């Protein structure tokens, strides 16, 4: 390298330095595919292949990479340090100029790992006039690799399409650190810096290196993105007040540039390397990360949150747990993902396909669970194998069913299993046969708001998990919103866990929106004084629910009544639908009482009149006057 060049600190202006180098006499690189939008490189002479410096080797070893030689180590070092993949070719093995294109039909490449691969048609390759040199962005070819005798090299620094790299890497079953970076994100604006950094590191082991020429195709520039951000929205997202200056100073310290549109509103320029920032919520996250979560002021929220007791599914879960616990069952929790082999042969191919995960983490977690039963049987078997005397287990949770259209539906389910006792005792304990299990099932159904009037009888029209003539069904979940299966499990299914015993089981499941928790009436003493009842009929929009109107009346009456008058009851006694005018009428009976003394009509009449006036004033409902 020339002394004048060696004395420069050209990392301060890498692109300017590279463009000041000699250019090739004729075009050295041609790009023929839009899957590569930038390609650059340096042809370097006076290279001596030798070990890297101790610092570079130590860095690579600490990163889990084996040092090879100074040229290869430099490309790996820059990849780890700056996130920009580089590739070095032995220049003496390049015949003519380079072309970046997609692979042609039947082309092969023997990669650096020694495997000859057939290249898919969408693969981007770097080729010379005779052959393919590398699988672009993934791995170089063995024929153009750096040999011990290399004295001239060409260092490539380019940018390739991330989606294409991902697809080709999967199709060729070839992964590399370079592909890993390209698949996620590489900021191509840093390509000149990475190339200059590589030259600087090479100069440590090859002080006389000479840049023969620098070539460049495409552009490494990236259009600056701008996101409009409102301080009001940021305050809403982070949950506390923040000053404009504090917010602006934090973002500018993180490399963002703010242009004020108006007070509290900015157009924020996003650096090219922050592709992950595109929403106002992203800027709120960036600010919190800089500001520090330990500095967020504490504030106790007010108001009443929604209680779990308001959720029908939660209430039903508690009721079912109480019923089965009192019957001697132990509750357990199993995995919501199951092995696919559990259902093969018992479910149709369409059902199994709908339940199977596209990319499961393991064979043990390949399917959404179709039922709670398999997990319970597995838990029962494991308890027995470990010497536990547990014979009765139950579980409540979500399962997944496939409807007639092939769509997945999530259901709430409760299931229990019973296995014959192995305990040796002089007096047998109370068993759990089919009829006792049916009694438990009827209690579970009643807790879900369904009258258990149907008798569960054995039959052949049951789920494949149940033994023919030893299982029964009540309801159909798609039509009625709930279904119950009870009986002995299919012996072919249970033999993977139990070789001889027959397992009695039951499962009840509901569509969550169809769960109705029954309300229990409580005793109320008769009123000691007579009550006054007023009838009120209202016209309401057709889609309005009766309970919505009733609650509105109750709230209004509570505001209008004063001691000693009190509202005892508001209930609907007539519903009339006016199809012609697309409306309907609700008739309510309003019952008033008095906490002390005898209630008179004169006390109720002003309240009733005030209620009608209030309804007319609001304009949502209209008092029905016979029209």
Cβ neighbours for 101, distance < 8 A, ≥ 6 positions apart:
32, 33, 124, 125, 127
Compute the distance between CA of residue 389 and CA of residue 325 in angstroms, rounded to an integer: 16
Mean pLDDT over residues 461-486, rounded? 80
Q: Given 218, 253, 271, which residue is the final one in a domain?
A: 218
* Interval 433-442: pLDDT, tens: 778 888 899 8
* Interval 476-524: pLDDT, tens: 888 888 888 888 888 888 888 887 778 889 999 999 888 888 776 666 6
> Does residue 230 sit in the same domain as residue 209?
no
Place of tokens 């982070």: 238
Residue 526 resides in a domain:
no
Compute the distance between CA of residue 41 and CA of residue 195 in angstroms, rounded to an integer: 8
Residue 322 resides in a domain:
yes
Residue 527 resides in a domain:
no
> Does residue 172 sit in the same domain as residue 57?
yes
> Does residue 181 sit in the same domain as residue 286?
no
Cβ neighbours for 345, distance < 8 A, ≥ 6 positions apart:
492
Q: Within 13 A of 48's CA, how many CA atoms are on the CB side?
A: 10
> Does residue 268 sit in the same domain as residue 314?
no
The pLDDT value recorded for residue 431 is 58
> Does residue 499 sit in the same domain as residue 354?
yes
**CATH number of domain containing 591:** 3.30.70.380
> Does residue 474 sit in the same domain as residue 564?
no
The pLDDT value recorded for residue 523 is 65
Residue 202 resides in a domain:
yes
Compute the distance between CA of residue 40 and CA of residue 87 in angstroms, rounded to an integer: 11
**CATH number of domain containing 467:** 3.30.930.10
Tokens of 407: 């769509």
> Does residue 503 sit in the same domain as residue 566?
no
> Does residue 500 sit in the same domain as residue 565?
no
Percent of the chain at pLDDT exceeding 90: 55
> Does residue 43 sit in the same domain as residue 159?
yes
Q: For residue 564, is the peptide bond before it cis, meaning its omega torsion is within 30 degrees of 0? A: yes
Is residue 1 scored above 50 in pLDDT? no
Q: Given 218, 252, 276, which residue is the final one in a domain?
A: 218
> Does residue 409 sit in the same domain as residue 440?
yes
Percent of the chain at pLDDT exceeding 70: 91
Domain of 540 in residue numbering reads as 532-623
Q: Which helix (H) or strand (E) holds 350?
A: helix 349-355
Residues 140 and 133: beta-carbon distance below 8 Å: yes
* Of residues 414, 447, 444, the one with CA closest to residue 519: 447
Is residue 121 scored above 80 in pLDDT? yes
- SS3 state of residue 334: coil
Given 3-state DSSP classes, what are the helix, strand and coil percentages for the chain, each rounded to the nearest 5? 35, 25, 40
The pLDDT value recorded for residue 2 is 39
Q: Given 462, 484, 514, which residue is the final one in a domain?
A: 514
The pLDDT value recorded for residue 158 is 96
Q: What is the number of other CB atoms lying within 10 angstroms of the CB of residue 262?
A: 7
The pLDDT value recorded for residue 299 is 75
Residue 303 resides in a domain:
no
**CATH number of domain containing 106:** 3.50.40.10
Mean pLDDT over residues 607-622, rounded? 90
DSSP 304: -
> Does residue 368 sit in the same domain as residue 289?
no
Look over the chain and give the mean of its residue pLDDT values, rounded to a whole number.
Answer: 87
The pLDDT value recorded for residue 469 is 77
Residue 109 resides in a domain:
yes
The pLDDT value recorded for residue 607 is 92
The C-alpha torsion from 453 through 454 and 455 to 456, rounded to 10°, is -130
The pLDDT value recorded for residue 303 is 62
The pLDDT value recorded for residue 312 is 86
**CATH number of domain containing 231:** 3.30.56.10
Is residue 459 scored above 60 in pLDDT? no
The pLDDT value recorded for residue 564 is 86
* Of residues 121, 128, 165, 120, the one with CA closest to residue 144: 128
The pLDDT value recorded for residue 8 is 44
* Interval 176-192: pLDDT, tens: 999 999 999 999 999 99
- SS3 state of residue 594: strand
Between 166 and 528, the more confident residue is 166
> Does residue 29 sit in the same domain as residue 105?
yes
Of 248-262, 294-308, 387-401, which has the strongest mean pLDDT?
A: 248-262
Domains identified in the chain, total number: 4
Is residue 58 scored above 80 in pLDDT? yes
Mean pLDDT over residues 333-355, rounded? 87
Is residue 410 scored above 90 in pLDDT? yes
Residue 305 resides in a domain:
no
The pLDDT value recorded for residue 141 is 92
Residue 329 resides in a domain:
yes
Cβ neighbours for 421, distance < 8 A, ≥ 6 positions apart:
391, 428, 429, 431
The pLDDT value recorded for residue 31 is 95
Rg of the chain (C-alpha set): 38
* Interval 298-317: pLDDT, tens: 877 666 565 666 688 888 99
């Amino acid at each position: 390298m020339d002394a004048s060049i060696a004395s420069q600190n050209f990392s301060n202006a890498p692109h300017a330095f590279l463009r000041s180098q000699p250019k090739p006499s004729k075009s050295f690189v041609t790009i023929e595919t839009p899957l590569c939008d930038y390609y650059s490189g340096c042809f370097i002479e006076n290279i001596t292949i030798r070990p890297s410096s101790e610092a570079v080797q130590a860095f690579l070893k600490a990163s889990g990479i084996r040092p090879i030689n100074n040229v290869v180590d430099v490309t790996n070092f820059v990849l780890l340090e700056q996130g920009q993949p580089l590739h070095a070719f032995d220049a003496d093995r390049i015949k003519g100029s380079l072309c970046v294109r997609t692979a042609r039909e039947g082309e092969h490449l023997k990669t650096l790992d020694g495997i000859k691969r057939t290249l898919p048609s969408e693969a981007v390759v770097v080729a010379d006039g005779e052959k393919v040199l590398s699988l672009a962005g993934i791995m170089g070819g063995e024929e153009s690799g750096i040999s011990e005798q290399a004295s001239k090299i060409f260092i490539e620094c380019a940018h390739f399409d991330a989606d294409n790299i991902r697809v080709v890497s999967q199709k060729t079953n070839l992964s590399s650190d370079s592909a890993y970076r390209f698949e996620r994100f590489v900021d191509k604006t840093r390509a000149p810096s990475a190339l200059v950094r590589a030259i600087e590191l090479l100069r440590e082991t090859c002080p006389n290196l000479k840049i023969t020429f620098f070539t460049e195709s495409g552009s490494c520039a990236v259009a600056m993105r701008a996101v409009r951000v409102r301080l009001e929205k940021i305050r809403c997202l982070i949950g506390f007040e923040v000053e404009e200056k504090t917010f602006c100073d934090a973002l500018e310290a993180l490399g963002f540039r703010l242009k004020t549109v108006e007070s509290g509103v900015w157009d924020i320029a996003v650096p090219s390397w922050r592709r992950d920032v595109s929403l106002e919520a992203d800027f709120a996250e960036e600010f919190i990360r800089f500001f520090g979560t330990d500095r967020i002021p504490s504030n106790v929220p007010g108001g009443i949150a929604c209680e779990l007791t308001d959720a029908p599914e939660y209430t039903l879960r508690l009721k079912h747990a109480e019923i089965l616990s009192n019957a001697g069952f132990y509750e357990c929790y199993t995995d919501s993902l199951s092995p696919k082999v559990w259902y093969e042969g018992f479910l149709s191919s369409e059902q199994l396909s709908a339940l199977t995960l596209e990319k499961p983490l393991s064979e043990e977690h390949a399917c959404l669970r179709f039922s709670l039963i398999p997990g319970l049987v597995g838990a029962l078997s494991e308890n027995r194998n470990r010497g536990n005397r547990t014979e009765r287990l139950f579980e409540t949770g979500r399962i997944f069913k496939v409807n007639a259209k092939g769509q997945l539906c999530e259901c709430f389910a409760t299931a229990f299993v019973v296995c014959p006792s192995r305990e040796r005792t002089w007096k047998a304990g109370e068993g759990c046969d089919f009829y006792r299990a049916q009694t438990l099932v009827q209690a579970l159904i009643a807790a879900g708001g369904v009258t258990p009037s149907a008798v569960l009888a054995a039959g052949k029209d049951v789920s494949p998990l149940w033994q023919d003539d030893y299982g029964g069904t009540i309801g159909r979940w798609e039509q009625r919103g709930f279904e119950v299966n009870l009986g002995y499990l299919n012996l072919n299914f249970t033999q993977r866990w139990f070789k001889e015993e027959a397992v009695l089981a039951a499962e009840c499941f509901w569509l969550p929106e169809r769960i109705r928790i029954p309300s229990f009436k409580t005793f109320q003493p008769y009123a000691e004084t007579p009550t006054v009842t007023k009838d009120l009929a209202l016209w309401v929009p057709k889609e309005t629910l009766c309970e919505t109107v009733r609650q509105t009346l109750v709230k209004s009456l509570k505001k209008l009544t004063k001691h000693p008058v009190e509202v005892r009851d508001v209930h609907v006694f007539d519903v009339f639908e006016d199809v012609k005018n697309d409306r309907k009428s609700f008739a309510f009976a309003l019952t008033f009482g008095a906490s002390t003394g005898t209630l008179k009509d004169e006390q109720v009449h002003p309240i009733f009149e005030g209620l009608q006036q209030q309804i007319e004033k609001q304009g949502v409902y209209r008092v029905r006057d016979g029209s």
